[in-house]
Amino acid sequence: MAKIVVDVMLKPEILDPQGNAVASALPRLGFNFATSVRQGKRFEIEVAGEPTPAQLAEVEKAAEVLLSNPVIENYVVRVEK
Amino acid sequence: MRVGVVTFPGTLDDRDAARAVRAGGSEAVELWHGDADLKNVDAVILPGGFSYGDYLRCGAISRFAPVMTLIIEQANKGMPLLGICNGFQVLCESHLLPGALTRNSDLHFLCKDQVISIENTSTPWTSSFTQSQEILIPLKNGEGSFQCDDATLASLEGEGRIIARYVGENPNGSRNLVAGITNTRGNVVGLMPHPEHAIDTLTGPSADGLGFFTSILNAMVQ
Amino acid sequence: MSLDTVAQAAAHPDTAQPFKELGLKPDEYARIKEILGRRPTSSELAMYSVMWSEHCSYKSSKVHLKQFGEKAPKSDALLVGIGENAGVVDVGQGYAITFKIESHNHPSFVEPYQGAATGVGGIVRDILTMGARPIAVMDPLRFGPADAPDTRRVLPGIIAGVGGYGNCLGLPNIGGEVVFDETYIGNPLVNALCVGVMRHSDIKLAKAAGAGNLVVLYGAKTGGDGIGGVSVLASETFGDGGSTKRPSVQVGDPFVEKVLIECSLEIFAEDLVVGIQDLGGAGLSCATSELASGGSGGMKVQLDKVPLRDPSLSPEEILMSESQERMCAIVEPSKIARFLEICKKWDVTVTVIGEVTDGKHLEITWNGELIVDVPPRTVAHDGPVYNRPFAQPEYIDRVNAQTISVPMPQSSAEIKVAILKLVSAPNMADKSWVTAQYDKYVQGNTIQAQPDDSGMVRIDEKTHLGVAIATDANANWSYLNPYQGAKLALAEAARNIATAGARPLAVTNCLNFGSPEDPGVMWQFAESVRGLADGCLEMGLPVTGGNVSFYNQTGDVAILPTPVIGVLGVIDDVRTRTPMSFNKAGLELYLLGTTHSDLAGSEWAFLHGQRGGNSPTADLQNEMNLIEVLLAGRSEKIFTAAHDLSQGGLAMSITEMVLRHMVGATISLKDTAIDLLSETPGRVIVAVESSQAGALIDLCVKYKISLSKLGTTGGDSLVINEITISLQELKTAHTSTFPKLFG
């Protein structure tokens, strides 16, 4: 069953202290691959059946108005199998 | 003079705000989030707390409460409105104020007695203070870092709409040490620290916070 | 797997059951079969296993704890004593205060944030269920060495959890402790205290009375949290292999609890419940069996009615679930509509799951089939009672015979170095890094919080009536002499209350020990309880309730015995309390009490790896006289400030006083090193105006408290004889430690 996924991330210019904390913690544990880490949110929305274009448009609206705060966040809507 | 104090599920400082309203000389009126009824109040306070547990984002769900529809309507007509801490977050989520409050830069909840300077005394919530007056009131939050884009910051500064600024070290990463702002019209004020917890020296670090609650009485008497 | 019903159990007596995995011993399993006259169903087995676990049944401690009842001093203030969810005391003006302290040690080791958070949540619900509005919390915490890697792992999470849950509930944190000792590595202690206020008529008890009354479950939905938490986690020690108990941890949501508090208080205000119980350790198993036991004994529950977060849970799991933020109320049919309305207003899930019957059994069905049919008292109250063997361990005579050998500073330079070393030690250092993560202002009634000697909240805004609470423990002394250690901790907590001018009224306790299966540990426990009971009798302070946490050990090594004693007191006017310190020059400083050479178990000895010697001997008559002096010092307006001496001795207390408002002091000491570092109990530093010096002397003569002048306040340094330490240097030493350690 497919689901609609909304990924929400802080805008690049907004300070992300949680991402920074993760980035600092990684090398302490021996992981040295990261040059930067940003932390966001992921919403998984189930609908009955396959998502329609109309539904996706509605999810976009919901993302704009509720799931994200456009002042400080960006979002991406997609369908995942 | 009637000042409404809104209770959302999870609001914590409503009774303290009501106490401060009474100490300032006005009548405190309880407003329930689910009732689209402002009970003829002259001004409204959105108090501090963790409304809806800060689910999704602080204030993100409260802003859609039935009572908020009326509040937004009245605020747009000039009704004085004060958002303290979580209340400030609700005002930003409602777009009555610009910008957003984000996680404290050091990631910890911080409760401390904070000096702020009052930089705009022409709002109905700050008229009791003198320009650049420094006051000591509690700051207590986990998401108090004020963020906005450069254009917004420029207009806030340029138009004198930063009503309070942190003095000394930046406690939470707020841009330009912003502790409180007002809208273009000057009737809606958001303030991160808690004046309602500084109304006497028995229970607070000073009585400096009372000024916010005497200001509103004076504003409405005029 | 098919449902294991009562009929099945009767028909198939020889079915193998996993009683061992659930933590029951063979003789306990046999006893259950005897009680029921058949083998238990798997649901009944689940209930007995959690309710008969050490954490829930107190099976190892009961025989000793009954001393609190047997030796209870007569007290007019006690409204509800031991046995209910929390004790209740009358504090005057029609107000009743309920308070209790509990542990959540093992879960906090496994999952620090959630363990600490749900520890706070649990104790708050215990207070709520008595009918009170919770008004404050405190958190005595103990960790391994400050610089140990595992302390880095658990401490930040525990602090964040205490703050995260308590702040979101809107409860001010008015005090606590942070203690570091290698004894707690692998076994951090997270004790949480809550205090609540109500009118006398509001008191609620956990009884299911009145056949036909409804059993109502409200609050969060039930999920798989902490299944078997009590029996699996709290009744076993940790193997050296580490944390494999992860699935058993409970996860809390403070927002749901905040809403639950407001919803419940509205329900109470309209007098809609006959009895009520919160769901804590052992969840529904506990709530149903205790409520039924508290009533006439009959109750019917339809378990399938329980609202679930996870529909895959089996009946056994539902009965054992420790999902947080749930309450169980007994409601008359005529009142249920209004009850449901209030829950709807607050958007709280509420379900009628059963009714009180006039039978003698607790009967639970699942989709119409009977899966539990037990006499509730056998589950909730008549569990096994063990008389565990106890014997004085060999270490006692050995360490008591040791003489302390610590370097005692002689020259001015050495003394200055010693003071700076002491005030910057992790146990002594400024704890703002911790307390800044706690809201102390919410509710607007906090009068005192950390770093004051006690937490104090105002409970009446018109009359300014207030209550004060302090918690104390001294594991070093309890290790050397558990009997004296408990008495000394009691005396210290009472003294902390009295220092601000509040009269001690009642006691709660959280007894943290190793395995009761170790006769030496059991002896430490027995002696501590005996000491506390004797001390409470002598001081006229009843024990209103508390908590026992056993199995705090890793492998064979138990923690030092750590009985944490909480004392509650009342003050008629918080505005006249005696502050901890002074903010003006020219006051006279006096030491109340006599200093002896008491270095055994002291912080100074601890810093030098010396743990032997003899603890001081508690002189409770003297402590009681001192309390009268402290109370009169406030009521007769003699004192300007007062601060008691404890760990770190006079060096620590005078440092705390001068740093509070950055006003220095000049004092002279005779036996400087001993005067500064000894930890003789029963001592307080007071600051008075010179005009009050005479009154102070008279007061001390009246109560036979020895008094010696220390010096005067003022300046920007701490001057001791010819030694001068600037306040700035003292402050830097005192306040740099925590930020350096924890960032």
Maximum Cα interatomic distance, chain A, rounded to a whole number of Å: 47
Low-confidence winner among B93-102, B211-220, C409-418, C715-724 (lowest mean pLDDT): B211-220
The DSSP call for residue B216 is H
Low-confidence winner among A15-24, C53-62, C229-238, C276-285 (lowest mean pLDDT): C229-238
List beta partners, residue C357: C298
Q: Cβ contact (<8 Å) for B102 and A13?
A: no
**How high is the pLDDT of residue C109?**
94
Looking at the complex, does the CB of residue B104 fall below 8 Å from at least one CB of chain A? yes
% of chain A beyond a pLDDT of 70? 100
Mean pLDDT on C564-580? 98
Specify the higher pLDDT residue, C15 or C464: C464
- Of the candidates B93, B107, B173, the beta carbon closest to that of A21 is on B107
Question: Which ranges of C215-329 does DSSP label H, i.e. alpha helix?
Answer: 254-269, 283-294, 315-320
For residue A76, give the CATH number of its domain: 3.30.1280.10
Q: Is the ipTM of this complex over 0.90?
A: yes
Nearest Cα residue to C506 out of C567, C578, C556: C567
Q: Are C5 and C367 in contact (CB under 8 A)?
A: no
**How high is the pLDDT of residue C240?**
41
> First-to-last CA distance in chain B?
11
User: CA B53 to CA B89: how far, in whole Å?
Assistant: 13
**Coil, strand or helix: which one is B32?**
strand
- Which residues span the domain enclosing A73? 3-80
**How high is the pLDDT of residue C242?**
35
Span C170-211, pLDDT tens digits: 999 999 999 999 999 999 999 999 999 999 999 988 888 899
The DSSP call for residue C143 is E
Residue C528 has pLDDT above 90, yes or no: yes
Contacts of C451 in chain B (CB under 8 A): none
The DSSP call for residue C51 is H
CB pairs below 8 Å between B and C: how many?
A: 84
What is the average pLDDT score of chain C? 94
**How high is the pLDDT of residue B63?**
95
Q: Which helix (H) or strand (E) holds C677?
A: helix C672-677
Q: What are the catalytic residues of B?
A: 85, 194, 196
Span C425-478, pLDDT tens digits: 999 999 999 999 999 999 999 999 999 999 999 999 999 999 999 999 999 999
CA distance to partner chain B, nearest, from residue A16 (Å)? 8
* Mutation to test the B interface, candidates A18, A42, A66, A75, most B Cβ within 10 Å: A66
Where do the domains of chain B lie?
Answer: 2-221
User: CA C559 to CA C552: how far, in whole Å?
Assistant: 6
**How high is the pLDDT of residue C228?**
58
List beta partners, residue C474: none
Q: Cβ contact (<8 Å) for A69 and B106?
A: no
Chain B: partners with 3+ C-beta pairs within 8 Å: A, C
Span C469-503, pLDDT tens digits: 999 999 999 999 999 999 999 999 999 999 999 99
Residue recorded with tokens 């104790």: C123
Question: Which ranges of C295-386 does DSSP label H, i.e. alpha helix?
Answer: 315-320, 336-345, 376-380
**How high is the pLDDT of residue C102?**
96
Q: What is the CATH number of domain B2-221?
A: 3.40.50.880
Specify the higher pLDDT residue, C483 or C382: C483
Span B65-84, pLDDT tens digits: 999 999 999 999 999 999 99
Domains: count for chain A: 1
* Mutation to test the B interface, candidates A10, A45, A71, most B Cβ within 10 Å: A71
Maximum Cα interatomic distance, chain C, rounded to a whole number of Å: 88
Phi/psi for C684 (5° steps) reads -140, 145
Q: What confidence tier does B221 reach under pLDDT thresholds 50, 70, 90?
A: low
- One of C104, C106, C643, C734 is an active-site residue; which one? C104
**How high is the pLDDT of residue B174?**
98
Q: In one letter, which amino acid is C16?
A: A
Q: What confidence tier does C241 reach under pLDDT thresholds 50, 70, 90?
A: very low
Q: In one letter, which amino acid is C287?
A: A
User: CA C585 to CA C401: how far, in whole Å?
Assistant: 46
**How high is the pLDDT of residue C743?**
84
The DSSP call for residue C353 is E
Q: What confidence tier does C350 reach under pLDDT thresholds 50, 70, 90?
A: very high
**Coil, strand or helix: which one is C296?**
coil
Chain C: partners with 3+ C-beta pairs within 8 Å: B
DSSP readout, C587-639? Answer: -EEEEES------TT-HHHHHTT---S-PPPP-HHHHHHHHHHHHHHHHTT--
